[in-house]
Amino acid sequence: MTLASLATRTAVVTGAASGMGAATARALAAHGARVALLARRTERLDALAAEIAAAGGQALAVTTDITDQASVDAAAKTVHDAYGRVDLVVNNAGVMLPNPLADGRIDEWTRMVDTNLTGALRIVRAFTDDLTSAAAEGRTADLVNVSSIASHVVFPDYAVYGATKAALTQLSAALRSELGPRDVRVSAIEPGLTDTELGGHIDNPVLRDQLGGMFDAIPALGAEDIADLVAYTVSRPRHVNLRHLVVLPTRQA
């Protein structure tokens, strides 16, 4: 099975306004999938949908805040009304806000947990019936959770971020035990150093400079590299589940 198999798919991509989400949406659409773009920034979604359409693809911009249940419910209805059931979900939305744990930044902790973990769970809840129905009909069904190497590699001052990503990787494993027997594939992808907007959210100048130093020292992955891996993963024959993938820049240990 080649990437041509994606031409029959209907996908939802969260965090689609920028970075890995936008690149993944472009990649899936380029191979023929219909793609629902979910994120908070309406103007960016509209621009991406127009870009995909201009290239001959199909995309639907759906303004969504995955930390708000009503917003997710409304988004699911919009997607279903436009495209029907989906068979491919990419949980990509995330936020990285490092600071020493002793700083007690409950605002940051809450935002990371609500986005990186609970937000992903809301999307799973919204579209699991679609995935299991697609699989029951003999079609390929995929749930891809974009985690991080921070799920298993310790970085000082990134404790809460790492904990949310570890939870997402563990959630993927647990969901595989529930959904795998129903022919729904679940994949966790853990990127290493990748050039996205995540670093721009850091308000600690020391940690921001530290991350900048890593980018200076190591040629990082690009968002397109992750998108390419997602597209490859979900285009395998339906009996093949690439369950856990770690992708690093070649120079990152």
Number of Cβ atoms within 10 Å of the Cβ of 78 = 17
Tell me the two tokens of residue 12: 């939802």
Higher pLDDT, 67 or 204: 67
pLDDT at 210 over 90: no
**Using one digit for the tens of pLDDT, what is the confidence trace for 80-118?**
999 999 999 999 999 999 999 999 999 999 999 999 999
| DSSP conformational letter for 84 | -
**Using one digit for the tens of pLDDT, what is the confidence trace for 43-76?**
999 999 999 999 999 999 999 999 999 999 999 9
CATH among 2.70.160.11, 3.30.70.580, 3.40.630.10, 3.40.50.720 for 3-246: 3.40.50.720
Classify the C-alpha dihedral 44-121-4-77 as positive or negative. Answer: negative
Q: What's the predicted TM-score (pTM) here?
A: 0.94
Rounded-to-integer distance, Cα 116 and Cα 93, Å: 7
Please give the mean pLDDT across all residues of the chain. Answer: 94
Contact 182, 135 (CB under 8 A): yes
* Residue 1's pLDDT band (cuts 50, 70, 90): very low
**Start-to-end CA span in the chain (Å):** 33
Question: Which of 83, 158, 161, 232 is flagged as catalytic?
Answer: 161
Q: Which amino acid is present at 251?
A: R
Is 232 a residue of the active site? no
Contact 48, 16 (CB under 8 A): yes
Rounded-to-integer distance, Cα 162 and Cα 158, Å: 6
